[in-house]
Amino acid sequence: MRLLIQRVDHAKVEIEGRVAGQTGPGLLILLGVTEGDGKQECEYLAEKAANLRIFTDSEGKMNLSLLDVGGEALVVCQFTLYGDCRKGRRPSFIAAARPELADPLYEYFVQCMKEAGVSRVETGEFGAEMKVSLLNDGPVTIWMDSAEIMPKK
């Protein structure tokens, strides 16, 4: 599972001109699922994202988490995080999980964020053509890949 996390002043996702989800100060999380991912990855990465100390304290240091600042999250499923550009000019998305695996794990990740204590978690719509807009704060962008950071089983 991969997360691209951006600290934002605000973010929103629109589908066919209507706002599907939006957030104020907090995180925009783009989430990609691959074959072999399961609930453990969701639980681990949601806890990690909610507690990641990337918000500034009164001294301007990144010492506070989303939970510490009472921030919100907008989570958007994005299979293109598993795009493989090693060959040719068209990315291959073969490593992205099929919808029947990815959608339930996306929903479970959102639930895990709520259970981690994030006060408000908004979403896009799985499989929809979405327009995502945001105002980066910092900018601060963090990449998390469960294959790289989770303790080995």
The catalytic residue among 34, 78, 109, 123 is 78
Compute φ and ψ for 132, nearest 5 degrees.
-110, 130
What lies within 8 Å, CB to CB, of 70 at 6+ separation is 119
Kind and range of the H or E run holding 104: helix 99-115
Choosing from 23, 55, 79, 109, the catalytic residue is: 79
- The CA angle 46-143-40, to the nearest 5 degrees, is 30
> Is residue 111 annotated as a catalytic residue, yes or no?
no
Is 23 in the active site? Answer: no
Task: Tell me the C-alpha distance between 102 and 134, whole Å.
Answer: 24
Q: Tell me if residue 56 is catalytic.
A: no
How far from chain centre, in Å, is Cα 99?
A: 17
Active site residues: 78-80
